């Protein structure tokens, strides 16, 4: 029942936002309903995190160690069930989605002034689709939520795009986002159907159940083709070079809350997909494909960093920096060791928090200065209250400073990958130097240097201050006490690393 609560509350809350907002398009009621909706997801998810048994007891089979599970027949003729389950990986991702969901509502409080109810309905339904992805373990149901989250996100970009651009720019960015993700999603659907038919040929049972499909033998050339369908779908959403073309435009044209959703939540569904589907279902093919995947990860690290330095728009700089961060995630995933996978888990949380924080700060700065063009900014330290200080904290975090969550994630990824891929780690480490270059460039152009614009600028409100302090606390807790995440994800990451090692042995033998 608790799993159904986590899943359906965002959709119910979104419908309430729309109904309440119909009579008053600028009222505050939809905002409070949306915030309460995400709080009602966050609190039970936090309870699951605090009370769950995440030990390695019972580990060893080829079925994940679920904390809770519910299965109801949905379309029995095709072996499709309404099947939800949650483990340590899912708990962390649901917690992250609900926390950033609350902050997305809070940061849009003064920015969205028209069709408030409809806006929050789309925001809640996007988050509901994401949470559905984290809970669904029937592959048809998983794909259903994968597609469902795209539609409300499209409207968030197209209808409530950032004020610095015109409506046609918003629509172009939304269409590009939709085409990229829809086309890659169709590849994943083809691969899902292929996996189901292979399982049927081997067992005579038609099913989309994840637990059953994990036992399917999916090696050889056909297994590689099916794996690539999943890889492309997740690489587009991550995104990794050369599948990144939609990200910067979508995030630059999104409202602040939409950018928080894209950077902090939606793109992290890709990392979850790799950990939940691509690596466990295709261990042999994934191990054989690892050199190419890691090469794409290294290219993404350098490409994202260089492109970030070339930007003049703050949001586009942050977008390209997130591509660089996700390059480390791709390296850690296909290194396949327990340490590197645990580093991926920390990096996903760290990047979601720090990138979301930088997007929120960019939105707050735009409200005060009327521009995100760094060429028109400068000398803002001491003139905006605490805002430049928060910017410095998250810029430093994004470049991997010790005591922040980003440092722990990158360190574990590189340390865990070094034994098997030393040269990849050496080359990837250079990206951390480039991260310092574009991060300091951002701080210098925006907050230091010669003052420009008006002398009197509004300071941060209590709401804005609370948002940023919440993100600072999360970054420091995970950075100083990473075991809060590592102990929860340990079982799942141990399972994934075991399956990957098995696939690596089979790939080497063949």
Q: What is the pLDDT of residues 338-381, one digit of tens each?
A: 999 999 999 999 999 998 899 888 888 888 887 788 888 877 78
CB 479, CB 407: distance < 8 Å: yes
CB 116, CB 243: distance < 8 Å: no
User: Does residue 377 or residue 467 have the better pLDDT?
Assistant: 467
Nearest C-alpha neighbor of 409 from the set 489, 473, 467: 489
Percent of the chain with pLDDT over 90: 45
Query: Residue 235: what pLDDT?
Result: 93
**Threshold 0.85, pTM exceeds:** yes
Domain that holds residue 474: 288-510
Q: In this structure, is residue 470 part of a structural domain?
A: yes
Report the Cα 14 to chain-centroid distance in Å: 21
Alpha helices in 136-278 (DSSP H): 139-148, 150-159, 167-203, 210-213, 220-237, 247-253, 256-261, 268-273
CB 229, CB 191: distance < 8 Å: yes
Query: Residue 14: what pLDDT?
Result: 92
Q: In this structure, is residue 377 part of a structural domain?
A: yes
Strand partners, 71: 83
Structure tokens at 135: 């809970």
User: Does residue 53 or residue 6 have the better pLDDT?
Assistant: 6
Q: What is the DSSP letter of 71?
A: E
Q: What is the DSSP letter of 220?
A: H
Coil/strand/helix, residue 74: strand
CB 137, CB 211: distance < 8 Å: yes
Query: Residue 199: what pLDDT?
Result: 93
Distance of CA 374 to CAs 278, 287, 333, 400, Å?
40, 43, 35, 23
| Cα distance between residue 148 and residue 459, in whole Å | 39
| Cα-based torsion angle of the residue sequence 63, 68, 73, 74 in order, rounded to the nearest 10 degrees | -100
Q: In this structure, is residue 382 part of a structural domain?
A: yes
Q: In this structure, is residue 188 part of a structural domain?
A: no
Q: In this structure, is residue 313 part of a structural domain?
A: yes
User: Does residue 209 or residue 268 have the better pLDDT?
Assistant: 209
Query: Residue 453: what pLDDT?
Result: 56
Mean pLDDT value of segment 306-326: 89
Mean pLDDT value of segment 409-415: 93
Query: Residue 504: what pLDDT?
Result: 78
Query: Residue 141: what pLDDT?
Result: 95
Q: What is the DSSP letter of 68?
A: E
Task: Provide the pLDDT confidence category of residue 208 given band limits of 50, 70 and 90.
Answer: very high
| Cα distance between residue 304 and residue 297, in whole Å | 10
Structure tokens at 240: 């990794």
Is it true that the peptide bond before 335 is cis, omega within 30 degrees of 0?
Answer: no
Nearest C-alpha neighbor of 253 from the set 315, 308, 320: 315
Task: Provide the pLDDT confidence category of residue 417 given band limits of 50, 70 and 90.
Answer: very high
Task: Provide the pLDDT confidence category of residue 266 given band limits of 50, 70 and 90.
Answer: confident
480-506 pLDDT per residue, tens: 999 999 999 998 899 898 888 887 777
Nearest C-alpha neighbor of 473 from the set 324, 303, 344, 353: 353
Nearest C-alpha neighbor of 427 from the set 327, 307, 322: 327
Nearest C-alpha neighbor of 349 from the set 255, 246, 271, 280: 271
Structure tokens at 206: 């038609």
Query: Residue 24: what pLDDT?
Result: 64
CB 368, CB 324: distance < 8 Å: no
| Cα-based torsion angle of the residue sequence 28, 33, 35, 39 in order, rounded to the nearest 10 degrees | 160
Query: Residue 456: what pLDDT?
Result: 57
Query: Residue 130: what pLDDT?
Result: 93
Lowest mean pLDDT among 105-114, 129-138, 227-236: 105-114
| Cα distance between residue 319 and residue 325, in whole Å | 10
| Cα distance between residue 194 and residue 142, in whole Å | 15
Q: In this structure, is residue 359 part of a structural domain?
A: yes
Report the Cα 27 to chain-centroid distance in Å: 30
Query: Which string of b and e fits 456-492 if b means at least 16 CB within 10 Å?
Result: eeeebeeebeebbebbbebbeebbeebeebbebbbbb
CB 336, CB 421: distance < 8 Å: no
Q: In this structure, is residue 77 part of a structural domain?
A: no
Structure tokens at 399: 């470049």
Task: Provide the pLDDT confidence category of residue 112 given band limits of 50, 70 and 90.
Answer: confident
Query: Residue 168: what pLDDT?
Result: 74
* pLDDT higher than 60, residue 454: no
Query: Residue 475: what pLDDT?
Result: 93
Query: Residue 509: what pLDDT?
Result: 65
Mean pLDDT value of segment 436-452: 81
* pLDDT higher than 90, residue 423: yes
CB 413, CB 335: distance < 8 Å: yes
In a 10 Å sphere around its CB, with 0-12 CB exposed, 13-18 middle and 19+ buried, how is residue 495 labelled? buried
Nearest C-alpha neighbor of 38 from the set 97, 92, 109: 97
113-131 pLDDT per residue, tens: 778 888 889 999 999 999 9
Extended beta strands in 394-506, E state = none
* pLDDT mean across residues, the chain: 87
Q: In this structure, is residue 395 part of a structural domain?
A: yes
Query: Residue 310: what pLDDT?
Result: 86
* pLDDT higher than 90, residue 399: no
Q: How many domains does the chain have?
A: 1
CB 157, CB 173: distance < 8 Å: yes
Task: Calculate ∠ Cα 443-444-447, nearest 5°.
Answer: 65
Residue 191: CB atoms within 10 Å: 25
């Amino acid at each position: 029942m608790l799993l159904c609560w986590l899943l359906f509350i965002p959709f119910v809350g979104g419908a309430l936002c729309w109904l309440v907002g119909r009579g008053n398009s600028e009222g505050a009621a939809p905002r409070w309903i949306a915030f309460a909706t995400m709080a009602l997801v966050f609190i039970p998810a936090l309870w699951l995190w605090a009370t769950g048994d995440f030990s390695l007891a019972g580990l060893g089979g080829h079925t994940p160690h679920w904390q809770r599970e519910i299965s109801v027949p949905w379309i029995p003729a095709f072996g499709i069930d309404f099947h939800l389950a949650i483990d340590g990986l899912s708990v962390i991702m649901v917690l992250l989605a609900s926390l950033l969901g609350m902050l997305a509502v809070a940061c849009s409080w003064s920015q969205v002034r028209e069709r408030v109810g409809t806006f929050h309905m789309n925001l809640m339904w996007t988050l509901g689709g994401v949470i559905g992805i984290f809970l669904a373990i029937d592959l048809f149901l998983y794909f259903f939520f994968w597609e469902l989250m795209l539609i409300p996100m499209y409207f968030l970009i197209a209808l409530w795009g950032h004020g610095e651009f015109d409506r046609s720019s918003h629509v172009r960015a939304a269409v590009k986002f939709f085409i990229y993700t829809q086309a890659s999603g169709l590849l994943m659907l083809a691969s899902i159907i292929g996996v189901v038919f292979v399982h049927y040929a081997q067992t005579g049972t038609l099913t989309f159940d994840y637990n059953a499909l994990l036992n399917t033998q999916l090696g050889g050339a056909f297994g590689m083709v099916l794996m690539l369908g999943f890889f492309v779908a997740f690489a587009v959403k991550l995104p990794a070079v050369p599948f990144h073309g939609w990200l910067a435009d979508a995030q630059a044209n999104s409202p602040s809350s939409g950018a928080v959703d894209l950077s902090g939540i939606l793109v992290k569904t890709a990392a979850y997909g790799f950990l939940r589907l691509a690596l466990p279902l295709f261990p042999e093919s994934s191990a054989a494909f690892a050199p190419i995947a890691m090469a794409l990860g290294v290219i993404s690290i350098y490409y994202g960093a260089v492109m970030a330095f070339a930007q003049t728009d703050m949001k586009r700089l942050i977008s390209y920096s997130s591509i660089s961060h996700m390059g480390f995630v791709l390296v850690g995933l296909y290194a396949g060791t327990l340490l590197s996978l645990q580093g991926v888990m920390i990096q996903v949380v760290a990047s979601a928090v720090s990138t979301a924080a930088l997007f929120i700060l960019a939105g707050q700065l735009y409200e005060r200065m009327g521009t995100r063009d760094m060429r028109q900014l400068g000398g803002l330290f001491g003139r905006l209250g605490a805002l430049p200080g928060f910017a410095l904290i998250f810029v430093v975090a994004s470049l991997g400073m010790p005591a922040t969550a980003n440092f722990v994630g990158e360190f574990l990824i590189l340390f865990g990958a070094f034994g098997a891929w030393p040269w990849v780690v050496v080359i990837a480490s250079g990206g951390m130097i480039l991260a310092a270059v574009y991060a300091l460039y951002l701080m210098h152009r925006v907050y230091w240097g010669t003052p420009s614009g008006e002398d009197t600028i509004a300071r941060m409100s209590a709401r804005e201050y609370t948002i940023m302090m919440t993100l600072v606390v999360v970054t420091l807790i995970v950075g100083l006490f990473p075991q809060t995440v590592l102990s929860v994800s340990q079982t799942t990451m141990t399972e994934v690393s075991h399956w990957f090692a098995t696939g690596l042995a089979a790939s080497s033998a063949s």
